[in-house]
Structure 1
Amino acid sequence: MKAKEIWLKAIMMEPLKRIPFWPKLWSEYPGMQKQPFSSMSLRELHAWIGSDYHQMPDVHTGVKPAHTTCAVKTFRQGRSWETNFQTPSGEVLYKQEFDEGSRSWHPVKHPVQTLDDIKILTEYFNDLSWILDDAELEKVEDMTESIGEDGLVSVCCGTSPLMEWVEYFAGVENAHLLLMDYPDEVELLFSVLQERLLEKTRLICKNHPADILYYNENTSTSLISPTQYDRYCFPHLTECSEIIRKNKRLVFLHMCGHLKRLLPTLAKLDVDAFEAFSTAPLTDQSLLDGRTNCPQRCLIGGTNAVLWTKSAAEITEGIKRELDALPHHRGIVITSGGAMPPQVEPDKIKAVCDWLKEYPARM
């Protein structure tokens, strides 16, 4: 059985002979390893490990923004990446810097600091529309065809408005202060962001060849409250899932944080899987919590980045504790939780993969 079929059976909660395994490797990972791994593609590295290949949801969406009176300018040099949202009323700057340790971009200046900034960003997104990018779609179609049955291809549609607001536009502290001080203005921005997200979702659903549509939520009660999730994220994601279901597509939510208090609400969402369902100490939930509260949902996770810094024996012991506690193993995919830490060598990942293939799965 090839990787795509294994993935699809797990997503549908169907029994398998073994538990699928996906070490979440970004494109930078091979180049940070010693030879021969540094010369391998991700597909070659997954094949060497023996894992179930999943093309990361960083492929091109096949859509691009269009503007009439507004514009966005980007400037990227070295470790700095600036995005300038420009409108007739003014402009706001979003700045990120690259962190070598995590191999990821982090905000160092959020575009929203004041009420005026909220209005400028609302004006910008009111002017924006999404259109097809035929050239990029053709590239994605070629890539998808080349992967074939050897892996799962996914694409990210975006992020729901509240999480976009908290993580990127305002930052955690200012996001809550501004939402409390200017609820009408912030909620107007949310409504505009949601219109754009639905517009983008429709285009991707109808035109993109990916097997899975992702929403990059990073959900966590360390960032938002359960009440806020119920008020904003749940209805927004429900609108997205309705479009996806009408188009008979599959959808994952990327949620890598504290989820235990959200699980009763998450169980009501019409989605196929929760991805990066990480475990303690980085979160407050276990696979058993997820399976108990969401019995019909595929759970993709079961470990965390801290665990992967330990020995292979300690990693497999941690995975065993999670798996042994479950009533069955249908709809479970073991991953690195979030992105695999670059200091974790391929030999260790392969050792864990080999162990998992021998684990007595109960399907």
Structure 2
Amino acid sequence: MSYVRRIVRTPVGELFTIERPAGFTTWHIKKLFQKPEDYKALMFMVKDQRVEPNYEPYAKAEREFGEDAIFRAALGATPLHEIMISWMGVETFAVEWAERRDEIEKLYQAMVEKRREVYPIVAQSPALHSNYGGNETGSVMGRERFEKYVLPNYLEAAEVMHQHGKFVGAHLDGLNKVWAEIVAKSNLDYVEAFTPAPDSDMSMADAFRAWPGKLLWIHFPSSVQLARHEVIAETARQIIRASAPDHRLVIGITENIPEDRWQQNLLTISRVINEEGVYPLR
């Protein structure tokens, strides 16, 4: 069993992570933040970052793939989500939020300022659209924190992206009912990885009703991937019909499909799209 240790050395302290690779994923054994003294090193790390454009790899990939693929940029995680999930973990974050919220908020603000350097670089890139953050779920981030610490970042990023004719969305694949109207207030162009019921607390109809004018770039529900192909086909059919008469919809898959099912499942979904996804929708 192999482990990977990464060390960040700063003039005000040393940080490290320990990870264990596990196939297509990674187990995070030790997070970057481990004790209150680590705030100083994290703050230095954030402020010391340099943000520079590097457009050529993206342009090269587009040239090589041509019309066989559409590429998307990424603005990274929203600041509080990165602190909570990537650097602390939920349990440690809960303790720190209760005992040293002022330290988290200072770190959050430094990250917001650094993200502002990223927005124009992505907006001026060859990419036509970019995701910003995601993997939020109501039971963890909570409505109040989402509105205060996530929404303002969406608003700022989208304003810059729109100035350059670019689109921005978020990977909201969790429980979204608690903040559905907050997402509606945002200027996000699309909601990516939205997963309809039965795998979440919102149906396709709920989402289209809550977010008029936003494109839904959905994740086909994982629970259905193990069903009979007739059920998979009917689920795809109902998803498409829910978008009638003129809602915007992209059907995607953002999670793993069982190895023995992916070929036939994708063929089934594609067949229904070809049959039902003809405008105007019936």
Q: State whether TM-score is above 0.5.
A: yes
1:224 counterpart letter in structure 2: M
Q: Secondary structure at the match of 2:141?
A: coil
Structure 1: where are the runs of 5+ without partners? Answer: 1-77
Greater helix proportion: 2
Distance 2:153 2:6 in 1: 25
1:279 counterpart letter in structure 2: P
- 1:109–1:294 Cα change, 3 Å: same
Distance 1:308 1:97 in 2: 28
The aligned residue for residue 43 of structure 1 is none
Structure ranking higher on relative contact order (CA contacts 8 Å, 6+ apart): 1
Deviation of the 1:329 alpha carbon: 5.0
The aligned residue for residue 58 of structure 2 is 140
Question: What does residue range 265-304 of structure 1 map to in structure 2 within 5 Å?
Answer: 265-301=182-218, 303-304=220-221
Distance 1:93 1:280 in 2: 39
Deviation of the 1:360 alpha carbon: 5.9
CA contact (8 A) 2:213 2:247 kept: no
CA contact (8 A) 1:144 1:209 kept: no
Distance 1:328 1:166 in 2: 40
Are residues 1:195 and 2:113 paired?
A: yes
The aligned residue for residue 21 of structure 1 is none
The aligned residue for residue 185 of structure 1 is 103
The aligned residue for residue 245 of structure 1 is 162
Structure 2: where are the runs of 5+ without partners? Answer: none
Deviation of the 1:95 alpha carbon: 2.9
- 1:342–1:85 Cα change, 3 Å: farther
2:127 counterpart letter in structure 1: A
The aligned residue for residue 224 of structure 1 is 141
Deviation of the 1:321 alpha carbon: 3.5
Distance 1:302 1:335 in 2: 5
| Count of residue pairs the alignment pairs up | 279
Distance 2:10 2:121 in 1: 25
The aligned residue for residue 358 of structure 1 is 275
Are residues 1:107 and 2:23 paired?
A: no
- 1:203–1:302 Cα change, 3 Å: closer
Are residues 1:312 and 2:235 paired?
A: no
CA contact (8 A) 1:302 1:319 kept: no
Deviation of the 1:285 alpha carbon: 1.4
CA contact (8 A) 1:85 1:121 kept: no
Deviation of the 1:296 alpha carbon: 0.6
1:339 counterpart letter in structure 2: E
The aligned residue for residue 153 of structure 1 is 71
- 1:360–1:331 Cα change, 3 Å: closer
Distance 2:228 2:83 in 1: 38
Normalising by structure 2, report the TM-score.
0.90
Distance 1:252 1:107 in 2: 27
- Considering only aligned residues, what root-mean-square deviation do their CA atoms show, in Å? 2.1
